[in-house]
Structure formats: structure tokens, C-alpha cells
């Protein structure tokens, strides 16, 4: 049985395209791992961007904080976070990884508040989600409190392409999340029960291709300390 | 005209009710020793400005020093999760959370740094933050469309921890610079704390010269380990034991007071 | 995915009628070898964008390559005085002088770099440039007063000469960086010429890493002495003999053609 | 007889105050010399700013181009020109030196055009003159074509404090240039004849204090190649 963290990292890595610019923000171990994995596997010319402002860093170890100086190591160029937001603002950032405490059927996210509870805040999401060419959302929890019918507050909305969860991959089509593939071991009934809005899913829904040996081996090399597990 | 002052005097430049901008990002290079001194001196009603903070913001909320937080993110990332001091103080009504996107903090500081009342911004559409924060849309005077604007935010004081500074106030940051230089430009006063005071000539000889220039800076304090318990890139990492202990009790003001008194030997 | 191309191919990225931003300032670090190649290839109707230029702008006016200049200053400073090619072509109506203040060029590039249609600016009051250039005032949506705005300017191509670049397009400038990084951000395409191609790893090990990042850059040309006859700080000074000879004849198109053919061995 | 370049450099230096920030732009040999002279004489804590973005540079030789890398030497801090314009824009730049091909009675300048003649352009002046706390104008020519009653084009206007010429020092009072002092050897009649707008000047007008031996000696040390003469 492949662990959810491993499967999600691999699925997220597969979504990245060679040559593109890709950014992750604070509290983003899975995107960090996915980006470095994709660069080792099929996207050697990915330009890796993060909050340190380093461009094309080549970390020698992975930190728990995804703002760590380790993620600036080996970068030939250094700009500021402001420059990276500007890059997105002018429509030139290809892909950003974002998450939400709650996600609705349109792929909008809430990181701000639910009634009576203060959440950590959306960080860069309200700025990046409408401007980056593509947002990939990920969320390590898939239940009805997370995937909800209506958000009490919309922190960010924008160009969501995919949502990766421990149960499935959603793809946004006509501004609605649709199930693209179910992960191994997840039944259509499981998924419907865990999702707070109605989804079309049945036995004909594709299965997420299983991780290959090469994917798993490379993942183990890149993240030997299993930083990716800190999200679970 | 040396700007070197004691920690006590530097902290006294911050007044009750000030809006303060805090350098660094999440667990990295915040001026924590200076923030501890503000707490020790009993500063109150501070408004905290930051793109993404952790212990710095949590501390000032947990100790009752803050009355508002203008930030994009408050938390300990996946290292320790929630900032419970912040959360409790917001939920109890003691602190107002003026949520920003990190980029709207940047836009607001840019407006202040450029001496204009607002900054247009190419994003935020679809976000409830526009209405929640009262961000105004204005018509493009050169063509079609409207653009969201962010009002200028000029902090009373920016508190920034750097690696090296000279006595005149030139500050050099090695590695990620975050928004610190922008904060320094936008703020009315700037206090630098630094790992080391160095000779001006030494900074001049470095290929990566200081990026916070003397003309922004009002006071410099030499404070080795001044970002502790957060990290200072290239110098030390964050103190996980301390942060773990703090984060666990951050929602309990009395426990926080006792913890700080003991651990900081007040 | 190496971005290294020949000078011929790099110049071909610039099309007739393009608006081009030119790096450097006055007599320093303009991409002159690339500009020479544009002239050699017969490029026409270019609009030139720069805060303060000298030979670069004078050359493209004198050779009939330019149709407009958007700049704050055109001249050889007190080294050689007036830019006669520029002056004659403007006075004859061949080139339109769209005068800017250096800071309005910056504001216009900032707007483009930030993806917004205009930038507010805290100056220019009292200047006839506001009316001459049609800069619009807009009301402050957050309080009293009006503010002058500058419309965004997105060059088709930015041409920048740097000290070192890697094959992926990261460009490192040593010393004064002027507005080159901003130009790169604002432009749709970016061509770097460089004194030296270096290994990416070498840039990563420098304390002053590249400040023009690969994601801005479309083409890199290795061109030692690529700023000549202008200066490249730390590498060589401007060529006073060449510039003196050029400046003296710059108002005579035929003489300029002959001079360039001889001196550049076309 | 003191040369005009020497006198002007010394008079300009005297106007600078210790501890202030002072900026000069392109084509500004006299301001460059004046700033370095003031720093050596009475204003050791002047912060010297120029187009290179260097802060507090300590040049070891003076170049003819006032954008030269020589003017970044020895600077502990390095920002960009943009940062310096921003400094002025937010009202924090103390003093800027500017010049004009033409100057009117209000201390407004023209660097743009006179009918039929294209001039080099105002560089930073339109941005700096209204925003810097104080502008010191200098002009090495003092005649009726230069000091004019009306400008065909106002390139910049703003907070002019003094105008230094080879004949006199003007001070702006109530938005009008008034003669503050006459240089040695200049008669009231000379000055009136050379100035294109009416001025109040007579035998009671103060004389510019003569350069001291220390001023002249320090000037000779700072600018041994007489770069200051390139403006004449």
C-alpha cells in the first residue's frame, strides 16, 4: 500500500511540465517535494521558485519550514518575493501550488475564518490564484468539513486546474470540480461520502495510475527524512 | 554620527499604539530579541505588520502587546502548526485580525515607500478580502477596465534583524531578503538589530553590499543571536524545543508570562 | 534548454517597429554590440526606451533606425556634450522625442512589471511634462487630493548587457544595476549580452548572485566587450577616441554610415 | 583671481549641511566635487548619493561622467536609482543638485526644448525638484539667454533654495529669485545686464565670502585633474 503522502507527491509532480516556472509558499512540504521530484524525473528544466526569492535552487536537504534558507541553496539567481508576486501579477508565472482549509465546488478556497475560529490566513493565495496561469490545489484531508458546498469566506479564487487529495484528483472544468481519477482503494461511494458537494463518480471513473518503481525510488532519494509526512 | 544604541533605548523608540513592521518571514530572521524587550517594557496596543509571521506575531498577541495584526499568514508552518496566542486573542476580541494577502502588504508598503496614497494591484479578484478590507476599485484613466487599489501603509517603526551593520546604519542581509528593505523604506523610523557590527569599509568590500541603506535607519543594536528563537540563515536554525514549549502554552496568557520570565530570565 | 544564440539570431528577435528598452545609463553598460547588429541588419522604426542614454540612443537616431525616443536624458554628459544625431533627427521631424523624467520611465516600467495599467507618482507637479505627455491625474480613493499617474509601458524587447550569464539566462551585474532588472521584468522579451558565459554553479556560489533571473530571459549572447564603445564597470572604460569621432559626425547620416562601416569593419 | 569653477564648487559645498542626504545626477561635475569637498570640510556625515545607487561612496579618483563606477567605490550600501527616486518621492531626500539650460525668476528650469532646438531632457529633475526637501540649482553660464523672463517649456519646478552661478548666488524667497550675494569682481550693473529678469541689486548687496586657503587646498586635493572645469 502506497502511503498517501507518497502518492500525493508523485501525482503532484506528474502535473508539472518541463520548462515551466513553479512556485510554492509557506507551509508547503508536498509541493516542495513534488517540484524537486518532477525536476529529477521528467522536468529537468523546471524553474523552482519559493519565498526566499531564490531562482532555480538545488537544495541538498529538505527542511520542515518551506521558507528555509536550505531552499535558496545552489540558486544562480536571487530576487525577492516581491519580484515573484510581480511575475504572477503580469501573467508570467506558470504554476502555483496552493491549499485551503476549506475548498468549494468551484475550487475556491478559505484560509481566513470559519465562524468563531480564526484561521492562519491565505498568505499569497488571493494574489496568486487569479494571476498565475495555473493553480494546483492540494489538501491532505478529504472530508465533508474540508470539501464544502459553500465557504463562509472566500480567501481566494482563480485559475484552479487540479485539486489533489488523499482520495482523488479533481480537475476543474467549466468552473466546477470534476473527479478526474480515483486513487487506489477508494470507491465511488467513499469519495461521495467524503465530499460535501455533489460529484459525478462511478465505476467508470478512471483510476489514478499507480506510482512506478522509479517514481517511488526517486522520491525516497529526494526526501529521505520524509518531510512530506509533516503535512499529515 | 554613530547610531548604535542599547537594546533598552532602541525599544523605547517604539511607543504604545504604534504600528510596527517586523522583518523576516515565518520562522526566519525576525528581530525576536527586540520584540522580547518590547514585551519586557510592557508596550501595548501595537499594530503588527508582516507578510507571514510565526513566533513574532504569536508572542506579541499572547502577551497582550498587540491590538491588531495586518498580515497574510500567522502560523508555525508544518513545523508546529497553529499560532494559538494569535488565534485566542483574535477569537476573544482582544486583537483585530486585519487579514491581508502577502502581496497586498507589499503593495501597501510600496505606496508608502513611493510617497503615494495607494497602489494599484493586478490581482485579488474573486476574493472576499476586497470587501472585507474596503479595498477600492478605480477606473483606468488610460483605457478600459478597473483596477483594485491598496491604501498606503506607513509603519511608525520597522524592526529588522540583519546579519551585519555598520555604525552609520547600513544593514547587510545574506540570503533571502524578504520584504525588509521595502519595510525600511515605508516606515517612519527603522531599528536594526544585527548579529555583528562591522566596519563600514568591510561592507564596502563585500560583493553583496548592504541593501538597507543608512539613510533609512535610526538606531542599530548589536545583538548576536538576535533572531532567536527563530532562525538566522547562515548563522543558526530556529530553536525547536523553545518554540514547541511556547506554542503549546501560547493561548494561556499567565502561562506565557511565567514561561518568558523563566526562559528569558526576566 | 540553453538560451545561447548567435548575435545575428538575437538581433532578429527585434522586429521593425518594436519598442525596445536599452539597459545601462549614459556612458555605462549599454548593449552596444547588439545595437550595432540591429543597425547592420537595417532595423527600422524602433521606439527607444531609457532613463538616460548617450551613444546608444544617438547611434540609433543617427542611423535612421529609430522613430521615437522615450527618455529622460540624451547626451554624453560633460564628456562630449550634445547628442547631435538625436538632436538633428528630432529637429528634422524624423524622430519623435517623447520626453520623460527618468522617474516616469521607472513608473511606467513598474506598472508593466506589476501588471497594472498605470502607476501613481508623487512628483512632477509644476512640470509641463504632465500636459505634454498627457499624464492623467486621478482622485485618491482613500482621502483627499489627486495624484499624477503614468501609463504602463511594456517594451517589446529589453536589451541588456551584463557581466556574467549562465546558459539558462540568469544574468549577473556587478556594481550599479540601474533599471536593468526592472526593464527585464517589464518587457515581453529579453535579450542578454554578456562579457562571459559562466557555469550556473559559479553564479550560485557568488555572494552577489544574478539579479536578472532566467524566467525573464529569452536569449543570451556571449559578447566580450559587448558594451564597447561604452564602459562596462570593472571591465573597461568607454572609448573616448571612438566616441569623440562619432559624436562629431553624428548629425550627418552619410558620414555616420561610412564611419560605422569602416570602424566596425562591415 | 579665483577661477569660476573653484568658486562655484566652494560656494555649493558651503550650502551643504552635515548629516544630510544629498544627490546629484548625470552631467554634474560641480555637484560631485562640491559634495566631496563639503564632506572633507564641514560635513563629514553627509550621505552622498548618485545614479549608481551607491550610498556613501568614497571615490579615489573623480571621473568625467558622473554616473561612473568610480562614484560607487567604497560605498557600504548599494541600492538602485529607483530607490533614490522613491526616497525623494516620500519627502526624505534632503538636497538635490539640478541645473537648467534656462532658469526663470521663480527658479523653474527648462531642459527640454527651445523653439526649433531639442535639448537633452530634464533627466530626474521633474521628479526630484518638487519632492526633494531642497533643490540647489547651479549653472555655469550667466547671461540673458540663460536667466530668462519666461520659459518656453517648464521641465521642472519645485523647492528651489539657491541658484549658484559664476556671477552670484540667488536665494529663492517668496517664490522669486533674489540676489543673496555677488561674487568678487561682479558689479550690480554687470549682474543686471546679464540677467533676463529684473533683480534688486546695488552696492549694498552682500559679497560672496572669498574662498579660504583651506577650501582651495582641499579642493585641489579632491579634484587634482580639475574635472570641475569640464562644465565650462
CATH architecture of B7-115+154-258: 3-Layer(aba) Sandwich (3.40)
Partners of residue B172 in chain D, C-beta under 8 Å: 77
**Stated length of chain C:** 266
Residue C4 has pLDDT above 90, yes or no: yes
- What is the model's pLDDT at position B111? 98
Q: For an interface test with A, which of B87, B92, B129 has the most A Cβ atoms less than 10 Å from its Cβ?
A: B129
The rounded distance, in Å, linking the Cα atoms of A215 and A38 is 9
Average pLDDT, rounded, for chain B: 97
Which 184-203 residues of chain C touch chain A by CB within 8 A?
185, 200-201, 203
Residue B242 at interface with chain C, using a CB cutoff of 8 Å: no
- Mean pLDDT calculated for residue range C183-193: 98
Residue C164 at interface with chain A, using a CB cutoff of 8 Å: no
Residue B114 at interface with chain D, using a CB cutoff of 8 Å: yes
Angle at D199 between CA D198 and CA D204, to 5 degrees: 150
Residue C128 has pLDDT above 90, yes or no: yes
Of B111, B136, B208, the CB nearest to C208: B208
Complex ipTM: 0.97
- Taking only the tens place, the pLDDT of each residue in A132-156 is 999 999 999 999 999 999 999 999 9
CB A111 within 8 A of CB A123: yes
Spans of all domains in chain C: 7-115+154-258, 118-151
Q: Give percent of chain B with pLDDT exceeding 70.
A: 100
Instruction: Give the pLDDT band (50/70/90) at residue B123.
Output: confident
The x, y and z cell numbers of residue A10, run together, are 508523485
Are the beta carbons of B209 and D78 separated by less than 8 Å?
A: yes
Average pLDDT, rounded, for chain D: 97
- Mean pLDDT calculated for residue range C225-244: 98
- What is the model's pLDDT at position B208? 87
Q: Which residue of B lies nearest to A119 if distances are taken between CA atoms?
A: B87
Average pLDDT, rounded, for chain A: 97
Of B118, B142, B207, the CB nearest to C207: B207
Which 233-262 residues of chain C touch chain D by CB within 8 A?
233-234, 238
- What is the model's pLDDT at position D127? 97
Partners of residue B200 in chain D, C-beta under 8 Å: 56, 76
Average pLDDT, rounded, for chain C: 97
| Interacting residues of D25 by C-beta distance below 8 A, sequence separation 6+ | C52, C102, D50, D51, D66, D96, D97, D98, D123, D124, D125, D128
Q: Which helix (H) or strand (E) holds D89?
A: helix D81-89
- What is the model's pLDDT at position C148? 98
- What is the model's pLDDT at position B266? 87
CB atoms within 10 A of CB C5: 17
- What is the model's pLDDT at position D97? 98
Are the beta carbons of A112 and B99 separated by less than 8 Å?
A: yes
Residue D131 three-state SS: coil
Cα distances from A13 to residues A20, A46, B243, C86, C225, in angstroms, run: 12, 11, 32, 54, 43
Q: Do chains C and A touch (3 or more CB pairs under 8 A)?
A: yes
The rounded distance, in Å, linking the Cα atoms of B80 and B66 is 22
- What is the model's pLDDT at position B1? 81
The rounded distance, in Å, linking the Cα atoms of B107 and B180 is 14
Which residues are B258's β-sheet partners?
Answer: none
- Taking only the tens place, the pLDDT of each residue in B163-218 is 999 999 999 999 999 999 999 999 999 999 999 999 999 999 998 899 999 999 99
Residue C207 has pLDDT above 90, yes or no: no
Residue D121 has pLDDT above 90, yes or no: yes
CB C160 within 8 A of CB C192: yes
Angle at D137 between CA D135 and CA D139, to 5 degrees: 170
- Taking only the tens place, the pLDDT of each residue in B64-114 is 999 999 999 999 999 999 999 999 999 999 999 999 999 999 999 999 999
Residue C211 at interface with chain B, using a CB cutoff of 8 Å: no
Q: Do chains D and A touch (3 or more CB pairs under 8 A)?
A: no
DSSP letters for C8-66: HHHHHTS-TT-EEEE-SBBTBS--HHHHHHHHHTT--SEEEEEEEESHHHHHHHHTT-E
- Mean pLDDT calculated for residue range D125-133: 98
Partners of residue D83 in chain C, C-beta under 8 Å: none
- Cα of B248 to nearest chain D Cα, Å: 41
Of C114, C181, C209, the CB nearest to A76: C209
DSSP annotation of B82: B
Residue C218 at interface with chain A, using a CB cutoff of 8 Å: no
Neighbour-count burial of B241, counting CB atoms closer than 10 A to its CB (0-12 exposed, 13-18 middle, 19+ buried): exposed
Of C1, C166, C185, the CB nearest to A76: C166
Q: Is cis: bond before C229, omega within 30 of 0?
A: yes
- What is the model's pLDDT at position D111? 98
What are the structural domains, with CATH classification, of chain A?
4-231 (3.40.1080.10)
Q: Which helix (H) or strand (E) holds D113?
A: strand D113-114
Of D77, D83, D89, the CB nearest to B209: D77
Q: Do chains D and C touch (3 or more CB pairs under 8 A)?
A: yes
- What is the model's pLDDT at position C123? 87
Instruction: Give the pLDDT band (50/70/90) at residue A69.
Output: very high
- Taking only the tens place, the pLDDT of each residue in D138-196 is 999 999 999 999 999 999 999 999 999 999 999 999 999 999 999 999 999 999 999 99
- Taking only the tens place, the pLDDT of each residue in D69-80 is 999 999 999 999
φ, ψ of residue C167 to 5 degrees: the values are: -65, -20
Q: Give percent of chain D with pLDDT exceeding 70.
A: 100
Amino acid at each position: 500500500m502506497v502511503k498517501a503522502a507518497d502518492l500525493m507527491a508523485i501525482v503532484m509532480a506528474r502535473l508539472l511540465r518541463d520548462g515551466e516556472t513553479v512556485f510554492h509558499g509557506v507551509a508547503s512540504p508536498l509541493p516542495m517535494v513534488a517540484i524537486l521530484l518532477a525536476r529529477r524525473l521528467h522536468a529537468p528544466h523546471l524553474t523552482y521558485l519559493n519565498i526566499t526569492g531564490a531562482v532555480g535552487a538545488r537544495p541538498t536537504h529538505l527542511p520542515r519550514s518551506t521558507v528555509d534558507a536550505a531552499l535558496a541553496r545552489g540558486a544562480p539567481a536571487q530576487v525577492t518575493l516581491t519580484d515573484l508576486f510581480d511575475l504572477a501579477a503580469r501573467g508570467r508565472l506558470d504554476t502555483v501550488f496552493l491549499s485551503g482549509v476549506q475548498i468549494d465546488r468551484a475550487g475556491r478556497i478559505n484560509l481566513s475564518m470559519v465562524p468563531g475560529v480564526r484561521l492562519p490566513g491565505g498568505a499569497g493565495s488571493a494574489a496568486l490564484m487569479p494571476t498565475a496561469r495555473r493553480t494546483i490545489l492540494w489538501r491532505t484531508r478529504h472530508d465533508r468539513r474540508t470539501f464544502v458546498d459553500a465557504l463562509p469566506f472566500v480567501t481566494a479564487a482563480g485559475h484552479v486546474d487540479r485539486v489533489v487529495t488523499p482520495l482523488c484528483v479533481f480537475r476543474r472544468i467549466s468552473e466546477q470540480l470534476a473527479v478526474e481519477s480515483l486513487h487506489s482503494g477508494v470507491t465511488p461511494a467513499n469519495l461521495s461520502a467524503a465530499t460535501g458537494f455533489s460529484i459525478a463518480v462511478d465505476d467508470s471513473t478512471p483510476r489514478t495510475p499507480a506510482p512506478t518503481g522509479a517514481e517511488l525510488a526517486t522520491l525516497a532519494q529526494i526526501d529521505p527524512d520524509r518531510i512530506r509526512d509533516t503535512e499529515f | 554620527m554613530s547610531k548604535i544604541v542599547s537594546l533598552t533605548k532602541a525599544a523605547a523608540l517604539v511607543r504604545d499604539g504604534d504600528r510596527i513592521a517586523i522583518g523576516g518571514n515565518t520562522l526566519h530572521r525576525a528581530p525576536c530579541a527586540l520584540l522580547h524587550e518590547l514585551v519586557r517594557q510592557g508596550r501595548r496596543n501595537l499594530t503588527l505588520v508582516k507578510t507571514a509571521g510565526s513566533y513574532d506575531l504569536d508572542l506579541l498577541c499572547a502577551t497582550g502587546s498587540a491590538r491588531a495584526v495586518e498580515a497574510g499568514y500567522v502560523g508555525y508552518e508544518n513545523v508546529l502548526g497553529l499560532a494559538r496566542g494569535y488565534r485566542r486573542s483574535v477569537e476573544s476580541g482582544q486583537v483585530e485580525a486585519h487579514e491581508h494577502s502577502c502581496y497586498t502588504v507589499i503593495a501597501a508598503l510600496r505606496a508608502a515607500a513611493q510617497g503615494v496614497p495607494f497602489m494599484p494591484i493586478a490581482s485579488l479578484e474573486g476574493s472576499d478580502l476586497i470587501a472585507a478590507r474596503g479595498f477600492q476599485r478605480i477606473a483606468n484613466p488610460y483605457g478600459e477596465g478597473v483596477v483594485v487599489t491598496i491604501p498606503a501603509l506607513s509603519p511608525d517603526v520597522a524592526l529588522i534583524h540583519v546579519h551585519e551593520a555598520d555604525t552609520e546604519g547600513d544593514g547587510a542581509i545574506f540570503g533571502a531578503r524578504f520584504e525588509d528593505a521595502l519595510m525600511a523604506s515605508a516606515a517612519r523610523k527603522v531599528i536594526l538589530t544585527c548579529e555583528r557590527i562591522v566596519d563600514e569599509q568591510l561592507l564596502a568590500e563585500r560583493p553583496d553590499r548592504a541593501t538597507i541603506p543608512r539613510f533609512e535607519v535610526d538606531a542599530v543594536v548589536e545583538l548576536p543571536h538576535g533572531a532567536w528563537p527563530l532562525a538566522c540563515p547562515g548563522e543558526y536554525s530556529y530553536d525547536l524545543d523553545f518554540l514547541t514549549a511556547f506554542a503549546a502554552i501560547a493561548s494561556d496568557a499567565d502561562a506565557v508570562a511565567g514561561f518568558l520570565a523563566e526562559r528569558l530570565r526576566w
